[in-house]
Amino acid sequence: MTIRFDGKVAIVTGAGNGLGRSHALAFAARGAKVIVNDLGGARDGTGSSSEAAQAVVAEITKSGGEAIANGANVADFEQVQAMVQQAMDAWGRVDILVNNAGILRDKSFSKMTMEDFKLVVDVHLMGAAYCSKAVWEIMKEQAYGRIVMTASSSGLYGNFGQSNYSAAKLAVVGLMNTLAQEGEKYNVRVNSLAPAALTRMTEDIIPDPRAAAVLQPEPVSAGVLALCGEDAPNKFVLCAGAGGYASFHTYETKGIHLSPGQQTPEDVVENWTDLDDVNGEERLNSALDQTAKFIKAALADIDKNA
């Protein structure tokens, strides 16, 4: 099976450099028409320039593909809506959205300003929400859509000095979890990527000089394209880097049930080992699954003591 995107239109945000550039080139190489979005700012989000996006468009068109540069700030919903309209005016549809744009303002939480915290969340989380909202009804009406959120191991596991980035990156997984459910019956599939690549965003936190040889963007882009094909999964977190690919899942332990007379903080602490026992842990599909689990245990306790 060969994955192709002929006749499909893809929007890749933050596509002027690094991973986004690699994604855009990979989609174009397999037949997609691409909106190459990039504000063209510095790594911390300051400034703007169209040069990077234009250079990627030039690479695509030189190879016989179709692409349009766009300089929208993903943290501005009006600019995002105009970007999506640009795609509709040019090609009449939007099939794929890769929410890749991001910035870094790393500091320990003690030294971080709330302005820097909010700005990073606005770009990563609200930017993903704005772009997804702008294409959502289009994808539903055409009964086809593939959306990729860019998460991070920093969000999944934490990373010192990145409280703002980590919060935003785990938040987009939460956004994916619900959009995947809401879009499923319309063939709109929403997944997340947790990439590892040596780019200007990560050059300071991956100091090993040997990393440059293996942490290239292209292996990560292969994962992105896999998340956007006809047979793409839904509600999946793909971890990718240096030719390695893995899945991330949230599990919940079977837990315990305490009868009404035992529902005290002391009893919770006393039973901590049992509630944390991984035997019988499971993946839950929705928030209601957890509620149903707790209700079932509570009703069984009532019946037992009736």
Question: Does 176 lie in the same domain as 276?
Answer: no
Calculate the alpha carbon distances from 214 to 22, 46, 87, 192 in Å. Answer: 15, 30, 34, 22
Please say whether the beta carbons of 86 and 72 come within 8 A: no
| pLDDT number for residue 197 | 87
Domain stops at, among 248, 268, 293: 248
Gap between the Cα atoms of 268 and 118, Å rounded = 36
81 pLDDT tier (thresholds 50, 70, 90) = very high
N residues, the chain? 306
Burial class (CB in 10 A: 0-12, 13-18, 19+), 96: buried
Mean pLDDT, rounded, of the chain: 94
Instruction: Answer whether residue 255 is part of any domain.
Output: no
Range of the domain at 277: 260-304
Residue 23 amino acid letter? H
Pairing assessment for the beta strands 237-241 and 244-248 based on DSSP bridges? antiparallel
Instruction: Answer whether residue 164 is part of any domain.
Output: yes
Instruction: Answer whether residue 1 is part of any domain.
Output: no
Please say whether the beta carbons of 163 and 109 come within 8 A: yes
Query: C-alpha angle 97/5/191, rounded to 5°?
Result: 35
| pLDDT number for residue 304 | 87
Encoded tokens for 26: 């990979």
Domain stops at, among 212, 228, 248: 248
Q: Has residue 295 got a pLDDT over 70?
A: yes
| pLDDT number for residue 211 | 73
Residue 57 amino acid letter? V
Instruction: Answer whether residue 253 is part of any domain.
Output: no
How many domains, in total, are found in the chain?
2
- Helical (H) or strand (E) element with 12: strand 9-12
CATH number of the domain where residue 161 is located: 3.40.50.720
Instruction: Answer whether residue 4 is part of any domain.
Output: no
Catalytic residue numbers? 165
Question: Does 141 lie in the same domain as 272?
Answer: no
- Helical (H) or strand (E) element with 13: none
Please say whether the beta carbons of 240 and 219 come within 8 A: yes
Question: Does 115 lie in the same domain as 140?
Answer: yes
| pLDDT number for residue 41 | 66
Question: Does 218 lie in the same domain as 140?
Answer: yes
Interacting residues of 284 by C-beta distance below 8 A, sequence separation 6+: 250, 252, 290, 293
Question: Does 101 lie in the same domain as 54?
Answer: yes
Instruction: Answer whether residue 254 is part of any domain.
Output: no
Question: Does 242 lie in the same domain as 276?
Answer: no
Summarize the confidence of residues 238-244 as an average pLDDT.
96
Give me the sheet containing 188-196, strands edge to edge.
Answer: 67-70, 33-37, 9-12, 96-99, 145-150, 188-196, 237-241, 244-248
- Over residues 159-205, the pLDDT tens digits come to 999 999 999 999 999 999 999 999 999 999 999 999 998 865 555 65
Calculate the alpha carbon distances from 179 to 120, 222, 293 in Å. Answer: 22, 23, 23
Query: C-alpha angle 77/82/83, rounded to 5°?
Result: 95
Residue written as token pair 């245990």 = 297
| pLDDT number for residue 208 | 67
Question: Does 209 lie in the same domain as 240?
Answer: yes
First to last CA, the chain: 59
Instruction: Answer whether residue 15 is part of any domain.
Output: yes
Question: Does 218 lie in the same domain as 80?
Answer: yes
Residue closest to 116 by CA, chosen among 124, 101, 106: 106
| pLDDT number for residue 251 | 97
Question: Does 124 lie in the same domain as 267?
Answer: no
Burial class (CB in 10 A: 0-12, 13-18, 19+), 100: buried
Question: Does 240 lie in the same domain as 175?
Answer: yes
- Over residues 14-60, the pLDDT tens digits come to 999 999 999 999 999 999 999 999 998 666 667 667 899 999 999 99
| pLDDT number for residue 212 | 74
Question: Does 204 lie in the same domain as 106?
Answer: yes
Question: Does 98 lie in the same domain as 243?
Answer: yes
Instruction: Answer whether residue 222 is part of any domain.
Output: yes
| pLDDT number for residue 44 | 61
